[in-house]
């Protein structure tokens, strides 16, 4: 898989800080952003976010390219509805070349890896045979959830916080957790103040999973991102 941050709101932290400060000022956000230096912007934004006022983060958006991920992952991803998606079409893009994701648990064992590969070979053989006699849009019905795809994703910062809270958690499925960790690393690089405490709930305090908790907080692990 590959995760790439394509675009993000320019000076996102300055923008969010100006928007937040405009709620308590006679000045407009336009005047505030022109007069505000980055140090002041970061200090004010940190204060607002520490108070739990996260709506100001919605002014910043981020667009990612997720490449070579499975349809299993995208089925989970699109459940996050406060986002925009553009996914590679299996109707208009031929899938003749076998390209699929193999879970680590299958890859680690020779017997399961061989059985998995044989099944994928049969599936793609059937797909190629069907593609010669029926429309590709119908042949694709035999393709597995493991089939790779590419998807473009845009979320605002607040929705990304929610996404990271759920998908960076150890209880998330392994593939979407790996993608979420890579996405988090990308946004921390460009907006360290906004995403400083982003990640699973255990980064910020108590795990909310109760008896379902993994018992292994990821604070130290995510501090390396």
Catalytic residues: 167
CA-CA distance, 174 to 169, in Å (whole number)?
10
Cβ neighbours of residue 197 closer than 8 Å, sequence gap 6 or more: 203, 204
CA-CA distance, 119 to 113, in Å (whole number)?
10
Three-point CA angle 186, 37, 6, nearest 5°: 25
Q: Using the 8-state DSSP alphabet, how is residue 214 labeled? A: -
- Tokens 């996405």 map to which residue? 183
Q: Are 184 and 196 in contact (CB under 8 A)?
A: no
């Amino acid at each position: 898989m590959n995760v790439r941050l394509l675009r993000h709101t320019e000076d996102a932290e300055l923008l969010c800080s100006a928007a937040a400060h405009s709620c308590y000022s006679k000045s407009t956000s336009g005047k505030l952003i022109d007069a505000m230096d980055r140090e002041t912007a970061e200090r004010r934004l940190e204060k607002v976010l520490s108070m739990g006022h996260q709506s100001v983060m919605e002014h910043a958006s981020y667009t990612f390219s997720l490449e070579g991920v499975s349809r299993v992952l995208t089925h989970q991803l699109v459940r996050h509805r406060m986002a925009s998606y553009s996914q590679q079409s299996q109707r208009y893009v031929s899938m003749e070349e076998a390209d699929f994701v193999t879970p680590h648990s299958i890859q680690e064992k020779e017997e399961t890896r061989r059985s998995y590969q044989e099944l994928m070979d049969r599936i793609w053989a059937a797909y190629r045979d069907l593609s010669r006699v029926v429309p590709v849009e119908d042949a694709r019905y035999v393709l597995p959830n493991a089939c790779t795809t590419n998807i473009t994703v845009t979320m605002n910062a607040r929705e990304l916080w929610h996404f990271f809270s759920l998908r960076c958690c150890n209880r998330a499925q392994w593939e979407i957790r790996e993608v979420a960790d890579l996405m988090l690393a990308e946004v921390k690089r460009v907006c360290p103040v906004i995403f400083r405490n982003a990640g699973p709930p255990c980064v910020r305090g108590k795990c909310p999973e109760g008896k379902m908790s993994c018992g292994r907080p990821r604070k130290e692990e995510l501090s390396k991102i």
